[in-house]
Chain A
């Protein structure tokens, strides 16, 4: 049942020009960045590689920066896709269709969530074809590649969860978009507040722990840390539960 809802969501996304244009824009920007990084690597970095004591390669110079840029671009793009997921239906009053069907709130929220996540997976797959294409000309560090791919996917799942929750709060898609963007940016830069001088004295730094960036960094170094995976899963579960509660409260006493 969840998959029926997800399939409908995905289909509706691709029936609107928004999804296509977003994929196109993201792809153009990322391929430009990819080409610049590749050019830079071939012209400047590669001849000097033997000078480094630590062996770095094309993956570190081209692939990792690509995914880093992608996560910034996605921070801007995720709100645009998730904004209408629930708010638009509330606005056009088509939520009644789902509410009066034999579906639980959890199924409705998860269905919608999986629909947008599927969209972002498709987008990630498309721009991941660029680093994969490097295999035609040489080899890349596949371990690092899969690690950062996993990081990127987890991050976009977390972004989408926040976006779906924001969309469940309002019936104005633009408000959902701007609050999602605000929340994502805040979670991204919150570690700045945590990086106070003398903060590295072994104290557990809550603010920098909350930052998405902190947890993303280890993936970009090729480390899949269960703590970081757990962080993203926790974000996803938290915002899913909140969305279910929010939708439930639509029916309840106000």
Chain B
């Protein structure tokens, strides 16, 4: 895997009148990386994506695609970008083949290579059987796939996908995630989403944007480390009085979950499980469930964004991101 930097963003900002939608964000994406762009609604995800792809001019800052400045040489830079906006930009009256052929042409693929590019894109997005059908008659999921096919048909170095799995069924979602992983091997992929498991499954690098600012930028493995367990769920058939549970070693708090189940909270980096199992067996509590609870990515996300919310003062445009 090469580590060539394909996307370089410096101090990128965008104002809408007095409203700051994106406030001086900076990051880099290398070849072979999938970058997850996370954020609540209105955080500035879509605005950032639009600026990265030249659909929106930034108020300040620079975007470099494969070392080419997007603002100085838009044509050369855009040739290296494939972009799927939130709403796939489709011509409903054309058939899938006609549409993709047109996309290939405007992305300056030479005539001899168009058929091959078309076949590859359709193959990768599972569109082989619908080539002759009108886009307007396809289901939402297929339209989404046509949108993705459009973004990858010219084999761009950088692929920007804005919420690519919206409207797909679970099987299609899995296929698209696999496709994104595959694409991430040869290209740089930037993926915007608010579906957290998607990020966990597909991304190498995670960024969280909140109120126009980058509040988190780290690798997926580091983020996973933050989801360490800090609690256990305990289920007992012959439960003792609650104070006995409270007196268990290393346990800081006990919450009753009903149905003879409790949540036992402990400090980070401690493993009270084995000890609890031994005590439960000794005292004949009838242990039937003992499972560590992992903090979900969702909670980490909420922690990060809500921590920022209290300190940030930047006004944010209320728009669908």
Which of chain B's residues have a CB closer than 8 A to the CB of A46?
none
Give bound CA distance, A1 to B104, whole Å.
11
Known: A4-B102, A5-B106. A12 touches B57 (CB 8 A): no
Give bound CA distance, A101 to B108, whole Å.
9
**Residues B15 and A253 in contact, CB atoms below 8 Å apart:** yes
Shortest CB distance B87–A (Å): 5
Give bound CA distance, A98 to B90, whole Å.
11
Does A226 make an interface contact (CB < 8 A)? no
Shortest CB distance A105–B (Å): 10
Give bound CA distance, A100 to B94, whole Å.
20
**Residues B83 and A96 in contact, CB atoms below 8 Å apart:** yes
**Residues A254 and B107 in contact, CB atoms below 8 Å apart:** no
Contact of A96 among B55, B94, B98 (CB under 8 A): B55
**Residues A96 and B89 in contact, CB atoms below 8 Å apart:** yes
Which of chain B's residues have a CB closer than 8 A to the CB of A97?
89, 103, 106, 150
**Residues A102 and B102 in contact, CB atoms below 8 Å apart:** no
Contact of B90 among A11, A94, A99, A103 (CB under 8 A): A94
Within 8 A of A (CB), among B74-93: 74-76, 78-79, 81-83, 85-87, 89-93
Shortest CB distance A98–B (Å): 7
Which of chain A's residues have a CB closer than 8 A to the CB of B79?
102
Known: A94-B89, A254-B17. A4 touches B106 (CB 8 A): yes
Does B54 make an interface contact (CB < 8 A)? yes
**Residues B91 and A1 in contact, CB atoms below 8 Å apart:** no
Indicate the size class of the contact surface on chain B.
35 or more
Does A227 make an interface contact (CB < 8 A)? no
Chain A proximity mask over B223-257: 1 for CB below 8 Å, otherwise 0: 00000000000000000000000000000000000
Shortest CB distance A4–B (Å): 5
Which of chain A's residues have a CB closer than 8 A to the CB of B55?
96, 99-100, 251
**Residues A100 and B102 in contact, CB atoms below 8 Å apart:** no
Contact of B106 among A93, A103, A252, A254 (CB under 8 A): A103
Does A225 make an interface contact (CB < 8 A)? no
**Residues A99 and B59 in contact, CB atoms below 8 Å apart:** no
Chain B proximity mask over A6-42: 1 for CB below 8 Å, otherwise 0: 0010011001100000000000000000000000000
Does A187 make an interface contact (CB < 8 A)? no
Which of chain B's residues have a CB closer than 8 A to the CB of A12?
91, 93-94
Cβ-closest chain B residue relative to A98: B106
Does A95 make an interface contact (CB < 8 A)? yes
Does B305 make an interface contact (CB < 8 A)? no
**Residues B59 and A253 in contact, CB atoms below 8 Å apart:** yes
Does A104 make an interface contact (CB < 8 A)? yes
Does B202 make an interface contact (CB < 8 A)? no
Cβ-closest chain B residue relative to A251: B57
Give bound CA distance, A86 to B102, whole Å.
17
Query: A11, A96, A104: which has the most chain B beta carbons within 10 Å?
Result: A96
Which of chain A's residues have a CB closer than 8 A to the CB of B53?
96, 99-100
**Residues A93 and B150 in contact, CB atoms below 8 Å apart:** no
**Residues A95 and B89 in contact, CB atoms below 8 Å apart:** yes
**Residues B78 and A100 in contact, CB atoms below 8 Å apart:** yes
Which of chain A's residues have a CB closer than 8 A to the CB of B75?
102-104
**Residues A99 and B91 in contact, CB atoms below 8 Å apart:** no
Which of chain A's residues have a CB closer than 8 A to the CB of B174?
none
Q: Closest 10 interchain pairs by CB? A: A97-B89, A94-B89, A100-B83, A102-B79, A15-B93, A100-B53, A102-B78, A101-B106, A102-B75, A251-B57
| Further 7 A-B residue pairs, CB within 8 A, beyond A15-B93, A251-B54 | A4-B102, A15-B94, A92-B89, A99-B54, A102-B74, A104-B75, A251-B57
A positions within 8 Å CB-CB of B: 1, 4-5, 8, 11-12, 15-16, 92-104, 251-254
